[in-house]
């Protein structure tokens, strides 16, 4: 961030630029943002965590919080810029935007702009190389025989390569010859010119015959390394040798577990233009009913704010109908921690090109030529031809003469083109604010003191949850027993009064259990769901304060014997009040 204003939201940032932006914000907004490293990546880069709240209204750990991370997958750098947009939205909106002011005064954001700095640095290099996630060699320690995706001609892009082949599966479109379309199953070799198409790259151990893609040296997928239903490499590709084996994932898991005030989790990915929710490996009937209802309500609001539909990974986002994804972050944070978790997949080139009513995954396996023509027209009209590159010849170091061209996937598929970036990410800052504002929040709704005698008092405290969600956030949290209930504690004395004041009835610390939220009233009428906990509860004590201990001697000590009341819940925050008896 410069002195003139925020960073531009129409580009992606290298590691040192990102660090400078975050450090600049921490320096210029010390009461709203604190920066720390939660660990180091495989190559030793810091993984930065920005804690954003109004520290003047209390520490972050005393407030309900939302955790948001981005860029766990190397080339999906859109999410990092989106987190910077959110941070700027919060810093610039405090004391200007009522919703931003309210959320920062009462709640906290934990934001990790780049969980995988090594992979992103490789993707953003002047001569890029794309890996799925981590740069660590796994499961192999050396380059395997076959095709390795790389920028062969050094132009900063990784395109496709085409080569003439009578047995090739592709041919040029008759009216748009730069567009490659599938060859008909019964089309003979003599019917035209056909091509093989492979990714731009170099070949290791080329035998002069096969350009089969090599198994990647960097085969890790950090988003398969979380503890939820983790499976070994033989069952889940990229999972790593054991759950949280990778430093990036381990750093996040430890940081999240250390912050029990987290009530929600969002992770930023690309692409598809959708808000994904758990489960990845179970159908919706695996949910506690109340959680599924709440998920759908939140998803409807996400769609209203961002235009992205919400969908189930299991039902709508399977890569293969016979396989499921295991070891993902959103499944872990929901199933093990019991907080609502979302994977936001930014950007849909298809929708931008006017293609609608398509399946998020199946479209890539089979779609009409008309869709390809729409995309090509979009490239020509909106992108001025920068997305789809006309085929041009190069001399390949192993294959000899080939042609490079086709879609520049990093530029306009894996990420939005920079000119569309800000308008694509901006609405998601509003969704993050919304999601945190619906979190539970404790309040001391009523504190009453009744004098029973010259030195005895009855204190009645009503603790309420003013949030939309219950204090436990999800039914899954109760099922997993990961979230304790509300506690109210009375502390007597102060300035020596504690030696004399005495609790006559009640325990100093009272457990009130979980408090409900308005979501219950929204989804389950009370006459259908009478067992739902109320959103408020009462604690009561009788105290004796001998008259000789009451202070009236100076302005320094206000009259009365001070009594401190504190209500706390790991997810709903802390509410405090001090009263003076007498």
Tell me the pLDDT tens digit for each residue of 74-129: 999 999 999 999 999 999 999 999 999 999 999 999 999 999 999 999 999 999 99
d(CA 51, CA 64): 12
pLDDT tens-digit map of 430-489: 999 999 999 999 999 999 999 999 889 999 999 999 999 999 999 999 999 999 999 999
Pair (489, 403) in one structural domain = no
Between 302 and 560, whose confidence is greater? 302
Q: Is residue 6 part of a domain?
A: no
Q: Is residue 334 part of a domain?
A: yes
The reported pLDDT for the residue numbered 420 is 96
DSSP 459-476: EEEEEEE-SSS-TT-SHH
Residue 63 pLDDT exceeds 50: yes
Burial classification of residue 204, based on how many CB atoms lie within 10 Å of its CB (0-12 exposed, 13-18 middle, 19 or more buried): middle
A 10 A CB-CB count for 56 gives 9
Q: How confident is the model at residue 187 (pLDDT cuts 50, 70, 90)?
A: very high
Q: How confident is the model at residue 526 (pLDDT cuts 50, 70, 90)?
A: low
Pair (27, 162) in one structural domain = no
d(CA 444, CA 464): 6
Q: How confident is the model at residue 580 (pLDDT cuts 50, 70, 90)?
A: confident
d(CA 391, CA 389): 6
Pair (102, 205) in one structural domain = no
Pair (183, 272) in one structural domain = no
Pair (383, 450) in one structural domain = no
- Per-residue pLDDT, averaged over 283-297, amounts to 95
Cβ atoms of 223 and 246 within 8 Å: the answer is no
Pair (520, 450) in one structural domain = yes
CA distance from start to end of the chain: 54
Q: Is residue 277 part of a domain?
A: yes
Share of the chain above pLDDT 70, in %: 93
Residue 538 pLDDT exceeds 80: yes
Pair (450, 432) in one structural domain = no
Residue 548 pLDDT exceeds 90: no
Q: Is residue 190 part of a domain?
A: yes
Pair (173, 74) in one structural domain = no
Count structural domains, the chain. 3
Pair (323, 227) in one structural domain = yes
Average pLDDT over the chain, rounded to whole?
92
Pair (281, 314) in one structural domain = yes
Pair (90, 192) in one structural domain = no
- Per-residue pLDDT, averaged over 238-259, amounts to 97
Q: What strand order describes the sheet that includes 442-451?
A: 442-451, 456-465, 536-544, 502-505
Q: How confident is the model at residue 581 (pLDDT cuts 50, 70, 90)?
A: confident
pLDDT tens-digit map of 387-440: 999 999 999 999 999 999 999 999 999 999 999 999 999 999 999 999 999 999
CATH, residue 553: 2.60.40.10
Residue 495 pLDDT exceeds 90: no
Cβ atoms of 224 and 236 within 8 Å: the answer is yes
Q: Is residue 466 part of a domain?
A: yes
pTM of structure:
0.93
Q: Is residue 132 part of a domain?
A: no
Token code pair at residue 433: 């604010």
Q: Is residue 332 part of a domain?
A: yes
d(CA 147, CA 201): 6
Q: Is residue 134 part of a domain?
A: no
Pair (371, 323) in one structural domain = no
CATH, residue 295: 3.40.630.10
Residue 143 pLDDT exceeds 60: yes
Q: Which domain holds residue 278?
A: 15-124+221-347+416-437
The reported pLDDT for the residue numbered 530 is 53
């Amino acid at each position: 961030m410069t002195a003139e204003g925020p960073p531009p939201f129409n580009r992606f940032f290298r590691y040192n630029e990102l660090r400078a932006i975050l450090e600049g914000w921490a320096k210029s907004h010390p009461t709203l943002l604190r920066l720390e490293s939660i660990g180091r990546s495989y190559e030793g880069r810091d993984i930065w965590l920005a804690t954003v709240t109004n520290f003047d209204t209390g520490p972050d750990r005393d407030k309900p919080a939302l955790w948001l991370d981005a860029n766990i997958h190397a080339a999906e750098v859109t999410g990092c810029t989106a987190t910077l947009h959110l941070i700027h939205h919060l810093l610039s909106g405090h004391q200007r935007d009522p919703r931003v002011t309210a959320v920062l005064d009462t709640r906290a954001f934990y934001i990790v702009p780049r969980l995988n700095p090594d992979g992103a640095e490789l993707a953003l290099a002047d001569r890029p190389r794309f890996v799925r996630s981590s740069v660590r060699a796994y499961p192999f320690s050396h380059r395997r025989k076959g095709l390795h995706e790389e920028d062969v001609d050094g132009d900063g892009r990784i395109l496709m390569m085409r080569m003439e082949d009578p047995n090739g599966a592709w041919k040029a479109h008759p009216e748009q010859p730069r567009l490659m379309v599938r060859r008909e199953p019964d089309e003979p070799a003599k019917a035209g010119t056909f091509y093989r198409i492979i990714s731009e790259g170099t070949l290791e151990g080329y035998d002069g015959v096969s350009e089969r893609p090599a198994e990647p040296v960097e085969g890790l997928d950090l988003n398969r390394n979380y503890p939820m239903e983790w499976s070994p490499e033989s069952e889940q590709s990229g999972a790593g040798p054991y759950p949280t084996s990778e430093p990036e994932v381990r750093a996040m898991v430890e940081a999240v577990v250390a912050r029990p005030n987290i009530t929600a989790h969002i992770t930023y990915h690309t692409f598809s233009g959708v808000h994904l929710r758990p489960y990845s490996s179970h159908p919706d009937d695996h949910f506690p009913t109340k959680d599924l209802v709440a998920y759908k309500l939140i998803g409807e609001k996400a769609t209203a704010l961002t235009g992205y539909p919400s969908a189930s990974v299991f039902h709508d986002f399977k890569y293969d109908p016979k396989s499921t994804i295991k070891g993902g972050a959103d499944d872990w944070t929901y199933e093990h921690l019991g907080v609502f978790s979302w994977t936001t997949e930014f950007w849909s080139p298809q929708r931008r090109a006017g293609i609608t009513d398509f399946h998020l995954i199946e479209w890539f396996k089979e779609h009409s030529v008309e869709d390809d023509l729409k995309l090509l027209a979009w490239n020509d009209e909106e992108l001025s031809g920068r997305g789809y590159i006309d085929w041009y010849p190069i001399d390949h170091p192993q294959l000899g003469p080939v042609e490079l061209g086709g879609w520049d996937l990093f530029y306009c598929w894996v990420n939005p083109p920079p000119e569309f970036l800000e308008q694509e990410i901006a609405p998601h800052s509003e969704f993050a604010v919304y999601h945190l504002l619906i979190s539970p929040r404790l309040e001391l709704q009523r504190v009453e003191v009744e004098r029973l005698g010259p030195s005895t008092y009855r204190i009645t405290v009503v603790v309420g949850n003013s949030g939309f969600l219950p204090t436990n956030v999800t039914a899954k949290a109760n099922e997993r027993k990961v979230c304790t209930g509300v506690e109210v504690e009375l502390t007597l004395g102060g300035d020596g009064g504690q030696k004399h004041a005495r609790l006559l009835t009640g325990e100093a610390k009272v457990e009130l259990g979980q408090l409900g939220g308005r979501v219950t009233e929204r989804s389950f009428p009370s006459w259908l769901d009478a067992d739902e906990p109320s959103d408020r509860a009462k604690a009561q004590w009788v105290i004796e304060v001998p008259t000789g201990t009451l202070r009236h001697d100076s302005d320094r000590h206000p009259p009365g014997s001070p009594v401190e009341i504190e209500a706390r819940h790991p997810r709903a925050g802390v509410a405090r009040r001090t009263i003076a008896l007498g």
